[in-house]
Amino acid sequence: MGKAADSKEQQVDYLKNRLDMFMNVIDSLDPESTDVEDIDRLIQMIDDLEAKYERFKNDWKEE
């Protein structure tokens, strides 16, 4: 999905962009037609974001 985020600044920008994408997905959901699969996808997005944050956090400790 693009090149790797190497610097801390790039990593923070990546996380911000992913959060923005998540918020856009939430904003686009229709409460009347949202189903369990939609909620599962949102949970997976958060899990993926958390995993990426943990990886970046470990990178920052090594600096």
Residue 63: its pLDDT value, please? 72
Is the pTM higher than 0.85? The answer reads: no
DSSP for residue 28: H
Provide the greatest CA pair distance for the chain: 47
In angstroms, the CA 50 to CA 63 distance is 20
In angstroms, the CA 63 to CA 61 distance is 6
As to burial, measured by CB atoms within 10 angstroms (0-12 exposed, 13-18 middle, 19+ buried), residue 5 is: middle
Residue 2: its pLDDT value, please? 57
Residue 25: its pLDDT value, please? 96
Residue 3: its pLDDT value, please? 62
All residue ranges of the chain with pLDDT < 70 are 1-3
